[in-house]
Amino acid sequence: MPRCLVARRLHFNAAHRLHNPDRSEEWNRDTFGPCNNPHYHGHNYELDVIVEGDIDAETGYVLDVGVLKRIVEEAVIQQLDHRNLNLEVPWFRDHIPTAENIAVFIWDLLAPRIPSGRLQRIRVWETPRNYVDYEGA
């Protein structure tokens, strides 16, 4: 069976602050720069969800991207969009909300929910120039 990668791009806005409470204010400013702003700041995130699988002989799909879109919206976008990640998403109380950690968070939500094929990669775009890829632990 031929195998393909199928991807869907989704969008969310969120605010965050990069700050490690175990380190000094100075260390945090040096390490995170403007992303350490105590008043938070926002990003327009793009999220690519990439699924790998065999092409189904009956449908010609690996999976229906409309179904994938609904799953990502319900499991991820509703939790993150227009949120302050530090204050409103409990997982980020213990994890600094970098794009790296956002990718891990999203992976763990989505990997068990993919109905056919398997989650191959999560790509989180924090700016049009910076992205992080995560392919699972």
What is the pairing mode between strands 118-125 and 131-134?
A: antiparallel
User: Rule CB under 5 A: is residue 10 a binding residue for Ni ion?
Assistant: no
Give me the residue whose beta carbon is nearest to Ni ion: 35
35 binds Ni ion (CB under 5 A): yes
Instruction: Give the active site residue among 16, 19, 35, 43.
Output: 35
Residue nearer to Ni ion on the CB measure, 35 or 71: 35
Interaction of residue 114 with Ni ion, rule CB under 5 A: no
CB atoms within 10 A of CB 8: 18
List all residues 6 or more positions away from 23 whose beta carbon is below 8 Å from its beta carbon.
31
In angstroms, the CA 137 to CA 107 distance is 10
Which residues are near Ni ion by CB under 5 A? Answer: 35
List residues with catalytic annotation.
Answer: 35, 82, 126
